[in-house]
Amino acid sequence: MSQLRSKLDALIAQTDLDVSDKQRELLVGYVAMLDKWNKAYNLTSVRDPQDMLVKHILDSIIVSTHLQGERFIDVGTGPGLPGIPLAIMCPDKEFFLLDSLGKRIRFIKQALHELKIENVTPIQSRVEEFQPEEKFDAVLSRAFASMVDMVNWCHHLPKQGTGLFLALKGLLPQDEIEQLPDWCSVTDVKALNVPELEGDRHLVILSRKE
**Is 157 annotated for ligand binding?**
no
DSSP alpha helix (H) spans, 116-178: 147-153, 174-178
Average pLDDT over residues 1-30: 97
Containing domain of residue 182, as a range?
3-208
Percent of the chain beyond pLDDT 90?
A: 96
Residue 134 annotated as lining a ligand binding site? no
Q: Is the pLDDT of residue 143 over 80?
A: no
Kindly report, residue by residue over 114-137, the tens digit of the pLDDT.
999 999 999 999 999 999 999 999
The 10 Å CB-count burial string (b at 16+, else e) for 103-125 is: ebbebbeebbeebebeebebbbe
In this prediction, residue 105 carries a pLDDT of 98
End-to-end CA distance of the chain: 49
Q: How many helices (H) does the chain have, and how many strands (E)?
A: 8, 7
State yes or no: pLDDT of 23 exceeds 80. Answer: yes
Q: How far is CA 78 from CA 14, 22, 67, 99, 151, in A?
A: 27, 24, 20, 6, 18
| 47 is an annotated ligand-binding site residue | no
8 Å CB contact between 90 and 115: no
Q: Is 81 annotated as a binding residue?
A: yes
Q: What is the mean pLDDT of residues 2-20?
A: 97
Q: For position 87, which CATH number holds? A: 3.40.50.150
Q: Is 127 annotated as a binding residue?
A: yes
Reported as a single tens digit per residue, the pLDDT across 25-75 is 999 999 999 999 999 999 999 999 999 999 999 999 999 999 999 999 999
- Domains: count for the chain: 1
- pLDDT-derived band at 210 (thresholds 50, 70, 90) equals low
